[in-house]
Amino acid sequence: MRVEILNPEVQGLASLSRAERQLPRHVAIIMDGNGRWARQRGHPRSFGHEAGVAAVRRAIRAALDIGVEALTLFAFSTENWRRPAGEVEFLWHLLQRHLQDDLPELHALGVRVMILGERQDLPQAVQRAIAAAEEVTAGNDRLFCAFAVNYGGRRDITRVARELAEEVRRGRLRPEDISEDLLEKRLATAPLPSLDLLIRTGGEMRVSNFLLWELAYAEFVSLPVLWPDFEAGHMSQAIQEYQKRHRRFGGVGP
Ligand code: IPE
Ligand code: IPE
Ligand code: MG
**Residue of minimum CA distance from atom 13 in ligand 1:** 35
% the chain with pLDDT above 70 = 92
Reported as a pLDDT band with limits 50, 70 and 90, residue 13 is low
Determine the topology of domain 22-152+195-244 in CATH: Undecaprenyl pyrophosphate synthetase (3.40.1180)
Give the residue, out of 34, 46, 208, 225, with the most ligand 1 atoms within 8 A of its beta carbon, to mutate for a pocket test.
34
Give me the pLDDT at residue 254, please. 76
31-73 per-position pLDDT tens digit: 999 999 999 999 999 999 999 999 999 999 999 999 999 999 9
Q: Which residues of 205-231 are buried (b: 16+ CB within 10 A; e: fewer)?
A: eebebbbebbeeebbbbbbebbbbbbe
For the chain, the structural domain boundaries read 22-152+195-244
80 catalytic? Reply is yes
Ligand 1 pocket member 35 (CB < 6 A) = yes
Q: Is the pLDDT of residue 8 over 80?
A: no
Distance of alpha carbon 91 from alpha carbon 94, whole angstroms: 5
Question: In terms of Cα–Cα distance, which of 231, 226, 230 is closest to 39?
Answer: 226
User: Is residue 22 a contact partner of residue 243, using CB atoms and an 8 Å limit?
Assistant: yes
Q: Is the pTM of this model over 0.75?
A: yes
Q: Do residues 135 and 162 lie in contact, with contact meaning Cβ atoms separated by under 8 Å? A: no
Residue from 14, 148, 18 nearest 80 by CA: 148
